[in-house]
Amino acid sequence: LNQLLVIIFTVIILGISVEEGFAEETIQVEIKYTNGDIADFNAMKIIVYQNFDEIPFIEKKLSSNPDSITIDANNRYKIEVYANGMYSDVGYIQPNNKLDKIDITIPLSGGVNFEVYYKDGKTPIKNAKVVLKSNNNEIWGDALTNDQGETRRFWLQSTTQQGDHYTADVYLGELFLKSHFPITLSPGIAFTEKITTNVPKVIDELISINLFDGSKKITSKNGNYKIILNHIGTKEKISSNLDFRGNAYFSNVKSGSYDVKIESSSIGENILWPQRIINMIGDSNQFNIFKDTEKNINAENPILNCNCISFRLDDVQDYWLSDTQIRIIDLFEEKNIPLSVGVIGNAIGQDDEITTKIKENLDADNIEIVNHSWDNNVLVGIDSKIQKEKILKTNKKIFDVFGVTPTAFIPPQNLYDENTIRILIQNDFSHLIGHVEENIDIFSINNYFYNVPATSETALLADDSNWELNDNTVILEKTIQSLSENGYAIIMLHPQEFSLDSSGKYGEPNEETLSSLSLLLDSITQLDSNLVKISNVKPNESISSKNSEENPIEKTDDEIDSCNCIAFRLDDVQDYWLNDVQIKIIKTFLDKNTPLTVGILANAFGNDQKLTNFVKENIIENGGKIEVATKGIGLTPFTNLNKNEQNQNLKESLDLIEEKLDTRSKIFIPPDNKFNSDTYEILEENKITHISTSLIAGETPPFEFQNQKIYRFP
């Protein structure tokens, strides 16, 4: 009996302790300035620690003020407040306090504007761009200087913790001038910070530019050569002819970045001179430009014939807009579209959330990692040893974190020079990806190194750090144009574009812009092109050899008959997805009394009664004009499945369609228009009479019109 009482007593005690151990409660957190005003929550987050743990219990960006958190009432909590990346203050919740709300007071913001000067400290720099960042390298705003060298005033959280400071990066056009720090702000106080750069307004020394063909210096004896410098900021042009010593001299040159163009009497030779950007700021007065004699140049046909489209996501890094980065990666995964992510070496490896997401998608072969340099500073104009160090350090960091070594490189701000190309080739890189806006050069060197700039983008960076989103129609037009002219297309994305709120500030993922991206991806998949990772943007092997490997179909020399006929096929018919549009398309064919074959995604069809009934009423078996084809189960290409998996997939899709429409299809449209010899062998077993893919997918004539068990009509 005593033992029984002990057992019962123990159970009761345990029940009480369990109940007490999970006393969940929601508490409002309101943050005010010391003057009593409610603080602006847009650039604010809180980090909550439980008891004396050093690992955060909650880390939350505020979506309102006050905002709420859910905690266990039996524990002690410390709530740290951060605004603009700066520590602001702290509040505490003691165990069993029975609080509904906690108020935390933080210091007022401080104000700063900047005056930017040339090297003499007196001459103001007009149109210099000042970018203000916090300790964690997050950008909180930028501004251009006026003709007095002055920027607008920034109001940001004051710096109260030792070591906290802001940094101002100064640019003139794309040219980085100076990083000015530390900048500390006092509560409620506004002041002006003077920044003197090391750049003269006008370079006093004579500047010389030399041209080389390999190791041979070119002079006027080799022909007439003119070197034209186009100032990127002002668009002013200056030029000089190469003299008999091989020098082109320039005097009284304004500091800045110059686009260099070389003209000779030979049009063919002009193509061989690379586009070059030179930074002239007085630190170097002699520049050498080398002619590239190894380019594959074809003025009439695209260099690349892969008929492929690739997406690149730039600026992937720890913590910064990580929710948005993950949403973008997830979106590509859901739609089974390859994605190349440009990773910044010095900003990756600490954020478990983003690194885990990348590792998962690497394992699933959904993405590839591209080297995006060590930081976001341009490589043009810096010593080649520093360039090499940044590129190779990034590759090592990526290997240490992810176990892969990138072979493709995205230069910061899409700018590079011939040193960049040499470093990449010497270190076994295969691809350099800039952007056609910065460098329109598209070429390959000895068929193992490819310069393939991005050809379009989902958004453009405006002057004030806001992003101007491109319309999907414009992106599609540019993509189709590049496919036609260059044989490939690369679309550039940034996380910032998909994180802007209505006030133009970076925050949580923007559902509207992500939805627009989703629609763009749907449209891109409808193009008759291959979707590939950037490392696969290269010339294809001949289509005929590819076809002989995947589709070993016996060729004959017999004369080919012709049905002299045209057929229409509508792919990816499915429930709920643009069903009114699908119905309208089908109805257009019915109204014109024109037959139509609809390719149905079997596992995504049959629950939408409106679409299902419309198709069923108009199929040929019921006296209509619609013929039904199966596109299988899911979107996985059959070339990724073994023979048994292909057979099961096809049979199940036919069964599902027959169950919904009371007709069994005899036509197969393979997912992604891909099939192989295993596919061909299972068609007869499933009583398929016709398979329809695409000429782009590798199908080649002849196409037989009689005496065949299986007919191929791409």
In a domain, 634, yes or no: yes
Classify burial at 589, counting beta carbons within 10 Å of its beta carbon; exposed 0-12, middle 13-18, buried 19 or more.
Answer: middle
In a domain, 616, yes or no: yes
In this structure, what are the phi and psi dihedrals at residue 400, rounded to the nearest 5 degrees?
-60, -35
Q: Are residues 284 and 379 in the same domain?
A: no
In a domain, 241, yes or no: yes
DSSP label at residue 20: H
Structure tokens at 706: 């009689």
Distance CA 686, CA 674 (A): 18
Q: Are residues 606 and 508 in the same domain?
A: no
pLDDT at position 243, please? 93
pLDDT at position 703, please? 61
The CATH number of residue 401's host domain is 3.20.20.370
Buried b (16+ CB within 10 A) or exposed e, 512-527: ebbebbeebbeebbeb
pLDDT at position 707, please? 64
Structure tokens at 391: 């590129």
The CATH number of residue 62's host domain is 2.60.40.10
Buried b (16+ CB within 10 A) or exposed e, 105-135: bbbbbbbbbbbbbbeeeeebbbbbbbbbbbb
Residues 193 and 183 sit within 8 Å (Cβ to Cβ): yes
Q: How wide is the angle at C-alpha 340 spanned by C-alphas 334 and 343, nearest 5°?
A: 120
Closest CA to 520 of 468, 463, 450, 470: 470
Q: Are residues 393 and 245 in the same domain?
A: no
Q: At residue 193, what is the residue type?
A: E
DSSP 312-376: EEEEE-SSTTHHHHHHHHHHHHHTT--EEEEE-GGG-SS-HHHHHHHHHHHHTTSEEEEE--SSS
Mutual orientation of helices 418-426 and 384-402 as an angle, nearest 10°? 40
Domain end marker among 85, 106, 127: 106
Distance CA 468, CA 449 (A): 33
pLDDT at position 268, please? 52
In a domain, 206, yes or no: yes
Biggest CA pair distance of the chain:
116
Distance CA 643, CA 687 (A): 16
Residues of the chain whose pLDDT is less than 50?
1-20, 294-302, 541-560
E strands, 248-327, are: 248-250, 253-254, 256-264, 276-280, 286-290, 308-316
Q: Are residues 637 and 625 in the same domain?
A: yes
Q: Are residues 376 and 466 in the same domain?
A: yes
Distance CA 694, CA 538 (A): 20
Can you say whether residue 416 is alpha, beta or left, with left for phi > 0 and alpha for psi between -120 and 50 degrees? beta
Q: Are residues 612 and 504 in the same domain?
A: no
Q: Are residues 99 and 122 in the same domain?
A: no
In a domain, 13, yes or no: no
Classify burial at 311, counting beta carbons within 10 Å of its beta carbon; exposed 0-12, middle 13-18, buried 19 or more.
Answer: buried
Q: Are residues 41 and 93 in the same domain?
A: yes
Q: At residue 418, what is the residue type?
A: E
Residues 438 and 378 sit within 8 Å (Cβ to Cβ): no
Domain end marker among 91, 106, 121: 106
Contacts of 370 (CB under 8 A, 6+ apart): 312, 340, 341, 342, 343, 406, 408, 409, 410, 433, 534
Residues 35 and 106 sit within 8 Å (Cβ to Cβ): no
Give the H or E element holding residue 193.
strand 190-196
Domain end marker among 196, 220, 235: 196
Q: Are residues 527 and 379 in the same domain?
A: yes
Q: What are the pLDDT digits (tens) for 531-574?
A: 999 999 987 643 333 333 333 333 333 344 567 788 999 998 88
Classify burial at 373, counting beta carbons within 10 Å of its beta carbon; exposed 0-12, middle 13-18, buried 19 or more.
Answer: buried
In a domain, 384, yes or no: yes
Structure tokens at 15: 């029940």
Contacts of 513 (CB under 8 A, 6+ apart): 469, 497, 498, 500
Closest CA to 536 of 491, 488, 492: 488
Q: What are the pLDDT digits (tens) for 78-103?
A: 999 999 999 999 999 998 877 889 99
Distance CA 550, CA 680 (A): 10
In a domain, 3, yes or no: no
Q: Are residues 521 and 458 in the same domain?
A: yes
Residues 200 and 282 sit within 8 Å (Cβ to Cβ): yes
In the chain, the number of structural domains is 5
DSSP 413-464: GG---HHHHHHHHHTT--EE--BTTT----EEETTTEEE--B-EESEEE-TT
Taking 3-state DSSP, the helix, strand and coil percentages for the chain, each rounded to the nearest 5, stand at 30, 30, 40
Residue 432: strand pairing partners: 409, 451
Contacts of 703 (CB under 8 A, 6+ apart): 560, 711, 712, 713, 714
Q: Are residues 366 and 249 in the same domain?
A: no
pLDDT at position 9, please? 39
What domain range is 685 assigned to? 568-712
Closest CA to 338 of 546, 485, 535: 535
DSSP label at residue 506: B
Q: Are residues 364 and 497 in the same domain?
A: yes
Contacts of 452 (CB under 8 A, 6+ apart): 304, 431, 432, 433, 442, 488, 490, 534, 537
In a domain, 542, yes or no: no
Give the H or E element holding residue 396.
helix 384-402
